Amino acid sequence: MSKQSITKLTTDKDAKGNNVQKVLTVEGPICVSGATTKEEIYEDNANRSYLLHINEGAGHMEEVMDYQRKLQAGLVDENSQNIAKQLLKNTQRLLKPIKVINPYATQLKIPDSVFKKLRTNMHYLRLIEIITFYHQAQRSKVDSPSGSYIETTLEDISWANRLVKESLLRKSDELNGQLRSFFEALKALISRRPKDRQAFYSREIREQFRMNPMKANRYLRELEMWGYIRQTGGNRKTGFEYEIAAWDEYQYLQSGIDILDSTLQKLRDIEARKTCPDPSGNGTATTKERSIT
């Protein structure tokens, strides 16, 4: 990953049929991916990666089951799927090594709520670089004494924002993916009740969500430990009564991630002023007016 290339030693045959060793090198950008069933992973590895979580919502599960039924019924056009995969492979083969310059890099900002901002900042910039690299055929090549390069556009940054926002939101969250999904479902369930009947017991939540008792109790203990719910009564014999103590914290995190879009909009406004005349009649906007405050 550091060298942005993969080198492999392989054995091939020459014209006389003798085995010869060859060194194959493929230039990057390089990505290393992995999967795990653990809810939490080693923090140092998590901070080096984008974390993608499975959508375990009821709507998504129904879509998956519907696809499985159509697949068994022969209603899925697998040939078109293979064509799309081959098109992506062929597109990657057309890419050529070229330097990428991001003229907007100094004006981009990572949300304050994100943990380990130093690493995440570089992840974000590299993602923009990769998107630009993949669009090299749509970008004009600039020749300079130090070599040719292509420049990042605002459209590249817009795609990066769309792809990274969910991952940054997860990295800003104290709760892991499954626990967050449970808590959001719990809040949605309790919010539909009258204000004076929003206390709940673990048994009714377990029955409502059809959960294993140990799993439900573990989730409730963790939420209580983090201060998202609190006990309001009950005992070990009849069960403990809980209430939600934090309703809007996730919305606060989401609003913090929105800084990516607000920064992009400022950049678009600056570009628009460059091409539009100054209302005062003095030509285009000044450099001072273009700077982001």
**What is the model's pLDDT at position 277?**
62
List where CATH 1.10.10.10 sits in the chain: 177-251
> Is the link from the previous residue into 279 a cis peptide, with omega within 30 of 0?
no
Per the CB < 8 A criterion, the answer to whether 130 and 290 are in contact is: no
- pLDDT tens-place string over residues 24-58: 988 776 777 888 877 677 777 777 778 787 777 77
DSSP assignment of 39-65 equals SS--HHHHTTS--------HHHHHHHH
Whether the model clears a pTM of 0.85, i.e. scores above it, the answer is: no
- pLDDT tens-place string over residues 141-181: 999 888 899 999 999 999 999 999 888 888 888 888 788 88
What does the radius of gyration of the chain's CA atoms come to, in whole angstroms?
A: 26
Distance CA 284, CA 270 (A): 11
CATH fold group of domain 177-251: Arc Repressor Mutant, subunit A (1.10.10)
E strands of 149-284, at which residues?
149-151, 200-201, 229-235, 239-244
Q: Characterize 171-181 residue by residue with b for buried, 16 or more Cβ atoms within 10 angstroms of its Cβ, and e for exposed.
A: bbbebbbebbb
- pLDDT tens-place string over residues 85-98: 999 999 888 988 89
Quickly state the pLDDT bin for 290 (edges 50, 70, 90): very low
Quickly state the pLDDT bin for 286 (edges 50, 70, 90): very low
- pLDDT tens-place string over residues 203-219: 889 988 888 989 999 99
Instruction: Answer whether residue 287 shows pLDDT above 80.
Output: no
Instruction: Answer whether residue 284 shows pLDDT above 90.
Output: no
